[in-house]
Structure 1
Amino acid sequence: MQVAVWDTYVTKKDGTIMHFDIIAPTEIRDAAVIYNYGKEYLKTKGLENTSLTSKECLFCHIETAKPQWEKDIRQKGYFIYEMENCE
C-alpha cells in the first residue's frame, strides 16, 4: 500500500511545537480531508480549537506503508506518526 505523508507542526497552548505526520492512502488528494484527520487527532490531545491549514500541514512525500500503520489506515482512513511533543 502506498501512502502520502503530510508533515505537520502545531503550536500547543504552552507554546511548544507538536510535530507529527498524517499518513493516508495516496488516493486521498483533498487537503481538507487530511486536515480533518489532523483535527480528529488533535481533539484526542485536548487541542480541538487548534488551527490546521496549509501553514501547519504540508504534503511531504509518498512511501510504502509500514505494517504497523495499515490497521489504523484500514479502520480510520489514516495513521498518525507522532514525532515531537505529542504527549
Structure 2
Amino acid sequence: MKVAVWDTYVTRKDGKIMHFDILVDENTVDKDRIFEYGKIYLESVSQEGQSLTAKECRFCHIDKAPIEIENQIKENGFSIIEMENCN
C-alpha cells in the first residue's frame, strides 16, 4: 500500500512543539478527515483541544508502507509516526 504522509507540528499544552506524521491511504484527500485523525491522536496523548489545521499539518510525500502501518490504516483509517516531543 502506498500512503500519504502529512507532516504535523502541534504546540502542546506545555508550550513544546510536538512533531508527528499522520499516514493515510494515498487516495485519502479530504483534509478535514486527515485533521480529524490527528485530533484523535492528540486526544489519545492528552493533548485534546490543541489546534490542528492546514497551518500545523501539511502533505509531505507518498511512500510505501510497511505491513504494520498498512494494517493500522486498514483498521483505523490512519497511522501515526511520533517524531519529537510526543510523550
TM-score under structure 2 length normalisation? 0.97
Using the alignment, how far apart are the partners of 2:16 and 2:48 within structure 1? 16
Asked if residue 60 in structure 1 is aligned to residue 60 in structure 2, the reply is: yes
Q: Give 1:14 shift.
A: 1.1
TM-score under structure 1 length normalisation? 0.97
Secondary structure of residue in 2 paired with 1:37: helix
Identity across matched positions, percent: 54
Alpha-carbon displacement from aligned partner over 1:49-77 (angstroms, at most 9, x marks no partner): 11100000000000111122112111001
Alignment of 1:1-87 (within 5 A): 1-87=1-87
Where does the alignment leave 5 or more consecutive residues of structure 2 unmatched? none
- Paired residues, what number? 87
Using the alignment, how far apart are the partners of 2:32 and 2:45 within structure 1? 20
